[in-house]
Amino acid sequence: MFSQKTLRVEIQKEDGMFYEGINAFSFKGLPIEVGLNVVTVPSGINAKIKLYGVSKSKLDMITTLKWRDGFITKKAIRIYANDGMGEFVLFEGNIMNASPVYDNAPEIYIEIDAIAGAFFNMKSEVPPSSLQGLVPAPAIFKKICIDYGIECVVNGLESDYPQADSPVYDESGLGNRITQASKDYNVYSVIYNNRVEIYPKYQSNQKTWLLTPTNYIGYPSFTNTGLKISTDTLFNVKLADKFTIKGSEVTPANDTWFVINVRYNLSTKIGGNWFITIEGVRAADVQRNTTVSGL
């Protein structure tokens, strides 16, 4: 039921650690709209959030005024989603801009633009990241992240990743280095609020989501790279996950696909949208390259 679908937004109030319920405003039970696009580095995931029914005092505190330092500039933000099957973190990042919109007064809302990796390229520059010998992707990504003082999360087994011979990365900025390493190693990398996550693009033992006519809505459509589906069930899908479609009337869709892009369009307003769009490439067509050379 639509009444079971909830969104919760937490916004950091002060500098320092982001403690849930302590150092954060929490908004739940309000009309909330979220547009979310999962993309690879350098910027990472980006989000647009609209909060309706916020009190005047909190509206003023959250608003970033462009002509002076705003109270909430660069503060962290988290978005939680629940479609009746349990709550999970949909997004975490930093606020780029937040401003009230009075165009449809008395229905006033605050619009927030946030990016997961917005400020990593503003960090102080560090020496080149390099390792000698035949280096698997997780090792060089961990080295780059250590150099910049942030966490690196490795998804998958070490054996799932390609290797490179004595890689060196001297690009300016964490995002730029991760971007170049991702291209060289042919892996997915996403910057979140305080970490970098890497995924092997096509891994045989990756989690597989089963989609049937009972748990997704709409007909699959086709793109120049593969398939695109929309569903009102919020699978906590990650880049490089697999999904298998069975029972679709669109016969070519009944296959297994690797996830290459995820978008969310969610609203708890009456009549609002609630769906996730997943794009994939056919697993059977993927030719996996386990060795990278020429770095």
Q: Domain boundary at 149, 166, 200, which?
A: 200
Residue 290 lies in a domain: no
pLDDT at residue 83 greater than cutoff 70: yes
Among 65-69, 191-195, 200-204, the minimum mean pLDDT is found in: 65-69
**What percent of the chain stands above pLDDT 70?**
81
Binned at pLDDT 50, 70 and 90, residue 14 comes out as low
How many independent structural domains does the chain possess? 3
Same domain, yes or no: 155 and 185? yes
Phi, psi of 5 (to 5 degrees): -85, 125
Residue 244 lies in a domain: yes
Burial class (CB in 10 A: 0-12, 13-18, 19+), 294: exposed
Phi, psi of 13 (to 5 degrees): -95, -35
Q: Which one-letter DSSP state was computed for residue 120?
A: G
Q: What is the pLDDT of residue 67?
A: 47
Instruction: Specify the CATH number for the domain of residue 164.
Output: 3.55.50.30
Same domain, yes or no: 68 and 163? no
Residues 101-113, mean pLDDT to the nearest whole number: 87
The answer to whether 255 and 283 have CB atoms below 8 angstroms apart is: yes
Q: Domain boundary at 151, 184, 200, which?
A: 200
pLDDT at residue 216 greater than cutoff 80: no
Q: Domain boundary at 69, 100, 118, which?
A: 118
Give Cα 45 to chain centroid, integer Å: 4
Same domain, yes or no: 17 and 74? yes
Count Cβ neighbours within 10 Å for each residue of 76-98 and write b for 16 or more, e otherwise: bbbbbbbbeeeeeebbbbbbbeb
The answer to whether 52 and 199 have CB atoms below 8 angstroms apart is: no
Residue 241 lies in a domain: yes
Same domain, yes or no: 105 and 7? yes
* Domain extent at residue 281: 208-261+269-285
Mean pLDDT for the chain overall = 81
Same domain, yes or no: 128 and 62? no
Residue 190 lies in a domain: yes
**What percent of the chain stands above pLDDT 90?**
25
* Beta strand segments in 83-154, E: 88-101, 109-115, 129-130, 134-136, 151-154
Same domain, yes or no: 88 and 101? yes
Residue 293 lies in a domain: no
**Alpha carbon separation from 110 to 17, 33, 101, 154, 246 (Å, rounded):** 24, 11, 6, 36, 41
Same domain, yes or no: 43 and 57? yes
pLDDT at residue 156 greater than cutoff 60: yes
Same domain, yes or no: 277 and 213? yes
Q: What is the pLDDT of residue 289?
A: 41
- Predicted TM-score of the model (pTM): 0.74
Residue 294 lies in a domain: no
Same domain, yes or no: 127 and 105? no
Angle at 248 (CA atoms; ends 235, 219), nearest 5 degrees: 70
Q: What is the largest CA-CA distance in the chain?
A: 64
Q: Which one-letter DSSP state was computed for residue 68?
A: S
CA–CA separation, 161 and 276 (whole Å):
28
Same domain, yes or no: 163 and 102? no
Residue 227 lies in a domain: yes
Same domain, yes or no: 98 and 21? yes
- What is the tens place of the pLDDT at every residue in 249-264? 888 889 998 888 889 9
pLDDT at residue 145 greater than cutoff 60: yes
Residue 291 lies in a domain: no
Same domain, yes or no: 61 and 92? yes
Residues 78-97, mean pLDDT to the nearest whole number: 86
pLDDT at residue 144 greater than cutoff 90: yes
